[in-house]
Structure 1
Amino acid sequence: MDEVTCFMTANLSCFFLASVYVGSLYVWKSNEDRNHPKTVIRRFISAFCMLFVAPVIVYVTLKYMKPQESIDLLTLLGLRLNGLLLAISVPVILTSVLFLGPITSSFFDGSWKDLFSAECWKNNLHDILWIRNQIVAPISEEFTFRACMLPQLLKCYSNSQAVLVSPLFFGVGHFHHMVERWRQGMPLAQSLLLSCFQFAYTTLFGMYAAFLFIRTGNVAAPCVAHAFCNVMGFPDFGEIGRLNGWKRIVLASAFVVGLLGWYFLLWPLTEPTLYDNNP
């Protein structure tokens, strides 16, 4: 297969995967919004089905691209026991450094205590929206948009190119929320602006998640990072301006130190040999 055909095949397959993933959420006829329990449960079923449909698409595409190559599909999808413990723990530590500012803010307002509250965890595990945001969405999205797309893109792109390209499918895959917000009464212009902002930060996160997947060779790494980011939410930089005195200085410093610390720790903490990842 020539280079141009390889690029076209990989990109079309990834676009098809993204379309199937988003389309699977809308196969159910319903008048309820995305947060209604019935809608959430139906979409859980769709996400579960994608765990089986997506690998088939990957396998067929890879065999078409490289028919002579043997395919170890589980390894390509990052479903490995080797390095699993580190793949679960280190990305959480690394992402915690990045979120040092919001974590510091949680100490100021006392919300950090919820992490050690049995009652809070009990309520969360009975909250279907929490389960969606912290468990189902991270697993299903990272499996589809990272584990299933990157093995195809890496047949044609370099590692750095794949890190830049793959998140575009992830970002575009979130634009369907614009239609949902518009149907719920939000003005179209406002809905579009919000979706563009969402596209920007999901694309940035997608680059980070793709980097974690390629470096660790384990899909668990982007899954736990995704779940952690969903727990923390988008950083509230405005909190710096709402504080006074030493708290403002400490919080502003935490944002800066967190970003610098994450930058300098990113490569050493994702060294492939740590995760027994020897592509």
Structure 2
Amino acid sequence: MDSAVLQCVLICASYVGSVEACRRLVKPSERDAPRQVLARSVAVTVVSLLAWRTLRAGLRSKGREGEIVDLLGLRAEGIPYGATFAVASCVSLLLAVAVDRASRRSSWLPDVRTPSLKLAFARDVLIAPAAEEFCFRGCMCAILTEGGLGLAPAALVTSALFGLSHLVHLSEAGAARTAAAVCYTTLFGLYACRVLFHTRSLPACWTAHAVANFLGPPDLGRAAGSAFYTTTTALGLAVFSALMWGASPRGR
């Protein structure tokens, strides 16, 4: 068990280190600069392969290498239900944000008129969700459960590491925004683990992550001053809670 946790810590450190290396070595260093987006995309892809090889090596030592697709949640038959559950639960969680975006049609879709904005959009809704869910939910959860942890401890460990990995943005976003991001992403990690354990589909986690990144976090300040926003948030949380209550884990 200790070795499994250490492996996950090393994967997380590699993920953070790869992003930080790109920030320091690739110029310009701004997060949305095209060269920076491309460099970080390559870096996290390499770390994803490292995570996969770590899981594969552990399974090979047990003579269970053939189970890697199941453990990662990559069976095709689970995708339709998983994607539907992910969209329903994530939109309900962020219902106020979705309704607000829909009411302002001009801002429903992000501005992607330039190549740099298109790359940033692709990073947020395609690259980052795929790499982060593969490493933190797919590989890490499998490594931990195979190492003897239960589903709940595995979810707590991977979600904590996922939240802490966002400390890498401290120099770019500042202390307050980074702290908020760490808290938000830790909670999102717990939700994503619930999605994974219920649907047994990693693409469901990708879908939920992509939807969450597309919509963005709720505006808590606005919720405090808008009765409609508050009501919509409460309604969405009620639906979300009902979905989570019925989402019994199906094991790994």
Q: Could you say which TM-score interval applies, normalised by the shorter chain?
A: 0.7 to 0.9
| Distance in 2 separating the partners of 1:141 and 1:131 | 14
| Distance in 2 separating the partners of 1:178 and 1:239 | 25
Residue from 141, 156, 171 that aligns with 2:163 = 171
Aligned residue identity for 1:238: G
Match of 2:69 in 1: 74
CA deviation after TM superposition for structure 1 residue 170, in Å: 0.5
The alignment covers a number of residue pairs equal to: 247
Identity level (%): 26
Q: Any conservation in 1 of the 2:138–2:202 contact (CA below 8 Å)? A: yes
Question: Which of the two has higher C-alpha Rg?
Answer: 1
Residue from 193, 217, 241 that aligns with 1:263 = 241
Match of 2:18 in 1: 24
Match of 2:230 in 1: 252
Do residues 15 (structure 1) and 6 (structure 2) align? no
Query: TM-score, structure 2 length as denominator?
Result: 0.87
Structure 2: stretches of 5+ with no match in the other structure: none
| Distance in 2 separating the partners of 1:255 and 1:11 | 36
Q: Please, what is the CA RMSD of the aligned residues?
A: 2.5
- Structure whose residues are more often helix by fraction: 2
Match of 2:203 in 1: 220
Cα 1:113–1:41 shift into 2, 3 Å: closer
CA deviation after TM superposition for structure 1 residue 241, in Å: 5.1
What SS does the aligned partner of 1:154 have? helix
Worse-matched range after superposition: 171-180 or 49-58: 49-58
Structure 1: stretches of 5+ with no match in the other structure: 1-6, 182-190
Aligned residue identity for 1:227: A
Aligned residue identity for 2:244: L
| Distance in 2 separating the partners of 1:138 and 1:70 | 25
Aligned pairs for 1:1-279 within 5 A: 7-28=1-22, 29-32=25-28, 33-63=30-60, 67=62, 69=64, 71-108=66-103, 110-111=104-105, 114=108, 123=113, 127-155=118-146, 156-181=148-173, 191-240=174-223, 243=226, 248=227, 250-268=228-246, 270=247, 279=252
CA deviation after TM superposition for structure 1 residue 107, in Å: 4.1
Q: Any conservation in 1 of the 2:59–2:65 contact (CA below 8 Å)? A: no
Q: Any conservation in 2 of the 1:77–1:151 contact (CA below 8 Å)? A: yes
What SS does the aligned partner of 1:148 have? helix
| Distance in 2 separating the partners of 1:218 and 1:264 | 20
What SS does the aligned partner of 1:175 have? helix
